[in-house]
């Protein structure tokens, strides 16, 4: 952050750059060290601060930036370097200017990469998607999705080997907080090789199928046709044509 020429015993400065009688830039040295700790800018000349900067730890560098992008008096973007390492740790943005955050990114391990993210896709003030980088490699590998915005996450996905391809998913199709479908890709080739389903949503598995050879076709399946908790039908592909019971 610039010190705006503050020196000696100076504690602040105000600048009217366009000569309209309103301050366009204000800078304050709150701790008297000669460096600006808080600065405000009126970029559109309406008499109100649109961008504010702060040096919270007094090291001479900006830690927090608040931006009112549409000049309505409400902050639309906030970037903060909470640990003072020069990298943004927390970013919050309201892209549709409705007063609610549409996205949040957090860097929890201070490596300069986002570790946790949340998004409000439809702008209703409720986050429908959360993602997390569990191993700190800079790639989101776990995510949950609330597709209908009712506050219940219906889908969860994971990329366990960090190749950018989903390896597993759980799906709550009826939004009752219980997963009816579980999908797994054990070899990470992008093709599901295990699918487990609770077709009648009673909390018990009714169908389980598996692609044991990884060629993209189900080799083994069991079905509980009467929903009594026991498999009634089993089929297996012996490599000799159609499924053999």
pLDDT at 101: 94
Other residues' Cβ atoms within 10 Å of the Cβ of residue 18:
10
Q: What pLDDT, on a 0 to 100 scale, did the predictor assign at position 11?
A: 61
User: Per-residue DSSP letters for 124-191?
Assistant: SSS--EEEE-TTSSSS--EEEE-TTSSS---EEEE-TT-SSS--EEEE-TTSSSS-SEEEE-TT-SSS
The whole-number pLDDT of residue 156 equals 94
The residue among 63, 68, 117 whose CA lies nearest residue 94 is: 68
Q: pLDDT tens string for the chain (245 positions)?
A: 333 333 444 466 777 777 777 778 888 888 888 788 899 999 888 888 899 999 988 888 889 999 999 999 899 999 999 888 888 999 999 999 999 999 999 999 888 889 999 999 888 888 999 999 998 888 899 999 998 888 889 999 999 888 878 889 999 988 888 889 999 988 877 788 899 999 998 888 999 999 888 777 888 899 999 988 888 888 887 654 444 44
pLDDT of residue 239: 58
Total-model pTM: 0.67
End-to-end Cα distance, the chain = 74
Return phi, psi of residue 190, to 5°.
90, 0
Return d(Cα 167, Cα 161) in angstroms, integer. 8
What are the domain boundaries of the chain?
Answer: 154-245
Closest Cα to residue 186, out of 223, 154, 150, 211? 211
Q: Which of 41, 90, 42, 40 minimizes the C-alpha distance to 63?
A: 90
> Scanning the structure block, which residue is given the tokens 């089929």?
235
């Amino acid at each position: 952050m610039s010190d705006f020429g503050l020196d000696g015993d100076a504690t602040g400065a105000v600048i009217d750059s366009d000569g309209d009688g309103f301050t366009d830039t204000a800078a304050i040295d709150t701790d008297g060290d000669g460096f600006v700790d808080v600065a405000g800018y009126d970029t559109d000349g309406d008499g109100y601060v649109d961008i504010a900067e702060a040096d919270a730890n007094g090291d001479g560098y900006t830690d927090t930036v608040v931006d009112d992008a549409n000049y309505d008096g409400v902050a639309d973007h906030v970037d903060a370097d909470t640990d003072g390492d020069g990298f943004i740790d927390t970013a919050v943005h309201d892209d549709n200017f409705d007063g609610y955050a549409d996205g949040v990114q957090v860097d929890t391990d201070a490596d300069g990469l986002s570790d946790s993210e949340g998004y409000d896709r439809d702008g209703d003030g409720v986050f429908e998607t959360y993602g997390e980088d569990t191993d700190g490699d800079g790639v989101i590998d776990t995510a949950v999705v609330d597709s209908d915005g009712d506050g219940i996450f219906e889908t969860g996905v994971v990329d366990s080997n960090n190749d950018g391809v989903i390896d597993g998913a759980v799906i709550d199709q009826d939004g009752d907080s219980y997963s009816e479908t579980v999908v797994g890709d054990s070899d990470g080739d992008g093709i599901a090789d295990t699918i487990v389903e609770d077709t009648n949503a009673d909390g018990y598995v009714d169908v389980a199928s598996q692609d044991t050879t990884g060629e993209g076709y189900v080799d083994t399946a069991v079905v509980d046709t009467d929903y009594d908790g026991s498999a009634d039908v089993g089929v297996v592909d012996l490599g000799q044509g159609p499924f053999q019971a």
